Amino acid sequence: MSNNPEWWKGAVIYQIYPRSYQDSNGDGIGDIPGITSRLEHIAQLGADAIWLSPIFTSPMKDMGYDVSDYCDIDPSFGTLSDFDAMIEKAHALGLKVMIDQVLSHSSDQHPFFQESRQSKTNPKADWYVWADPNPDGSPPNNWQAIFGGIGWSWEPRRRQYYLHNFLAEQPDFNFHNPEVQQWHLDNMRFWLDRGVDGFRLDTVNFYFHDKQLRNDPANPRTDPEKGEWNPYHYLYHIFSKNQPENIPFLEKMRALLDEYDDRTLVGEVGEAFHAIEIMGQYTSGKRLHMAYSFEMLGPNFTPNHFRKQVEEFFTGAPNGWPCWAFSNHDVVRHASRWLTPKMELDDLAKQAGALLLTQQGSICLYQGEELGQLESELEYHELTDPQGINFWPADKGRDGCRTPMVWYADQPQGGFGDTKPWLPVKPAQLERAASTQVGVAGTVFETYRELLALRADNEALRTGATAYLCSDEQLLAFTRGNEYLCLFNLSDKPAKYVSAVTKSEIAQNAQYENGTWDLGPNAFVIARLS
């Protein structure tokens, strides 16, 4: 692999959800040997790197985002030897390897928490966030948990509450303790020494909490008539997360990675108010290399929305760097979010790929996105996700985007494995199997491959500046690096754009005639300016 310290800048990172990529041993759960056997698919697509959601030892209360051993592989996924073999093959194929780091909290089964909860005087007593009750025995403040209920649980042995921003089985580390910070850095070094090329940092803005434990104020955006399906959204989280002490720790992580060649950090900013601002703050200077938020992972599919996110980021952080995504393991797949009755699914899927892959920044593709895969419609009894189980039917959770990758339309379980998988493979997903698209001209997969190749061959599309020419209720037009014109009709109605550019590199539902591009529903044009 070539030595390029800034390989990540403008790179395309392919996210793998390990439980759902390929089952190699017939237990219904995807694993590392299965991933290794499918790396050619990703290399053929043209991605620069893979990112694996958590593979560490875990009770799986939150599917691996509750870690009980930060330096070993969960047996359901394989062994450290399997991991080493995967890295070796990925590197041989020219793919970088990034792994999740879930630092803000551990599993309640982690030995350190088991020790911490025993008393106020043991060696790990201050490694998690503990607080005394109010005089009436109630929790110390109003902080809520994302998966429902108050964000505090009682421990009778200490006669104190512990903080958990997620499940009660996911206690929060106390990052105000320097020993906790150093321990996490040492764990990261373990994986860097093993050859990983970077980390995706889960909930990177959650590490520190307000030491005074002040109440979060009310969310001013809450509609008093409609309310919220999750009480977490009633609060404006200015004390439970997003603390200024986070910045020095990000700088410590960056200093660690700078000891190694060609490594990178991308942080997930989980925030409803100032996500773009925080992304810029966290990627300015010697902090994170990249950050992403959920701003493009929602229902909004309008030109002005996409323009606003990009302009706000580069205006607020001209020296920072974003990582954009349309889908991941936490949200409804974008092909389902944005599809309207008048749209053709393939047209929308290809257009979304073109829009994402012409953005200034790095790009994250979620497994199956390159096939135009849809959200799976699951019944309540099929759910495993605590979010869906707790909030059904107002929110159906995240299982619908986590169902197994479908490789073959004519094989049981879509070629995922030999036995019933942990989540079902539905007919709608089988229809979009890789076997029906790879090597077939005009499919979503082959369009993605063409788009990735164009991006890889042109620096302007990876890192060139963006200049917007037009954005209205349906049309988005911009240039990249003064070399490419990009047009997108984000609607199911025709649109027109006057231009002297007559020929496209890649286009869909678009024709040029008499000085004007006629853009049909979900049309796009990517064209050289000269």
Q: Just list the catalytic residues.
A: 202, 259
Distance CA(413)–CA(425), nearest Å, equals 6
Degrees to nearest 5, angle at CA 305 with 299 and 306: 100
- Helix crossing, 444-457 with 345-356: angle to 10°? 10
429 exposure class (CB count in 10 Å sphere: 0-12, 13-18, 19+) = buried
Sequence-distant (6+) residues with CB within 8 A of 250 are 204, 267, 282, 287, 288
For the chain, how are helix, strand and coil distributed in percent, rounded to 5? 30, 20, 50
C-alpha to C-alpha distances, 517 to 254, 353, 379, 514, nearest whole angstrom: 46, 20, 45, 8
CA-nearest of 116, 117, 242 to 179 is 116
Distance CA(311)–CA(296), nearest Å, equals 13
Distance CA(166)–CA(65), nearest Å, equals 10
Secondary structure E strands in 347-464:
362-366
Backbone angles phi, psi at 436, to 5 degrees: -90, -5
